[in-house]
Amino acid sequence: AQTVTQSQPEMSVQEAETVTLSCTYDTSESDYYLFWYKQPPSRQMILVIRQEAYKQQNATENRFSVNFQKAAKAFSIKISDSQLGDAAMYFCAYRNYNTDKLIFGTGTRLQVFP
Amino acid sequence: EAGVAQSPRYKIIEKRQSVAFWCNPISGHATLYWYQQILGQGPKLLIQFQNNGVVDDSQLPKERFSAERLKGVDSTLKIQPAKLEDSAVYLCASSLRAAIPTIYFGEGSWLTVV
């Protein structure tokens, strides 16, 4: 069975600084997708960034970039120039290519200090 | 494009009562998911539909939870009778098809069982 692990329950960063959130996963599949979702207090899941396993190039979206290490089954997100609005829960998620099942980690609470 | 709609947003019930949540996915999205998110945890998949057929309901507590997807569009999740541990946010999500990896979430339905 696939699992997703986030070992950092909480992280904090100063505004304008950079922070990295970590995620590891376990799967025997070769084709899959990885995601980082942001969840503000409203509880709506907002997609931040997506990585296809078959792509070697790391995905980037504006201030957000990932470090995808397929062999190590590690998938971290780097948030550059952190803003107060980045404060939220961040969930790493794995999606099985064949079954569409989306599995989440336990989340990392990010605090941003002015 | 309209997003995933859920109702009600908030519900408070007494234990042993019943409750139903409704979800309207994004138009044309064949896959629909219901997740349960208990406070402090990541979302857990309860049931996944492909059109109006069930793909995965392995983590649905079937003795008290039921879900249906009428005509492959709207879906209803019911809990009867509710227990205190059912207090959670129930998230509905949808996706176009397996080849399109992004899953879109609704704002969630908050359930408190007292």
pLDDT digits (tens, 9 = 90+) for A15-53: 999 999 999 999 999 889 999 999 998 888 999 999 999
Q: What is the mean pLDDT of chain A?
A: 94
Q: What is the mean pLDDT of chain B?
A: 93
What residue has token string 């969630």?
Answer: B108
Search chain B and give the residue with CA nearest A105. B42
What single string gives the DSSP state of each residue in B79-94? Answer: ESS--GGG-EEEEEEE
The verdict on a CB contact (< 8 Å) between A50 and B41 is no
Mean pLDDT, to the nearest integer, of B36-48? 93
- The answer to whether A3 faces chain B, any CB pair under 8 Å, is no
pLDDT greater than 70 at residue B98: no
Beta-carbon contacts of A75 under 8 Å, excluding residues fewer than 6 positions away, are A23, A24, A25, A34, A51, A66, A67, A68, A69, A92
- The answer to whether A53 faces chain B, any CB pair under 8 Å, is no
CA distance B49 to B51: 6
CA distance A109 to A81: 18
Beta-carbon contacts of A60 under 8 Å, excluding residues fewer than 6 positions away, are A49, A66
Select the residue from B6, B11, B87, B103 to test the A interface by mutation, using most A Cβ atoms within 10 A: B103
Which residues is B43 bridged to in the sheet? none
At residue B1, the pLDDT reads: 62
Mean pLDDT, to the nearest integer, of A94-104? 86
CATH superfamily of the domain spanning A3-113: Immunoglobulins (2.60.40.10)
Select from 2.60.40.10, 2.40.50.460, 3.30.470.20, 3.40.50.2300 the CATH code of B5-113.
Answer: 2.60.40.10
With contacts defined as CB-CB under 8 Å, which chain A residues touch B41?
Answer: 106-107
- The answer to whether A9 faces chain B, any CB pair under 8 Å, is no
**Of all residues in chain A, what percent carry a pLDDT higher than 90?**
85
At residue B99, the pLDDT reads: 61
pLDDT greater than 90 at residue B71: no
Of the candidates A37, A5, A43, A21, which has an alpha carbon nearest to the alpha carbon of residue B39? A43
Mean pLDDT, to the nearest integer, of A48-77? 95
Search chain B and give the residue with CA nearest A33. B101
Mean pLDDT, to the nearest integer, of B40-58? 91
Give the start-end residues of each E strand in A6-99.
Answer: 10-14, 19-21, 24-26, 32-39, 46-52, 60-61, 64-69, 74-79, 88-96
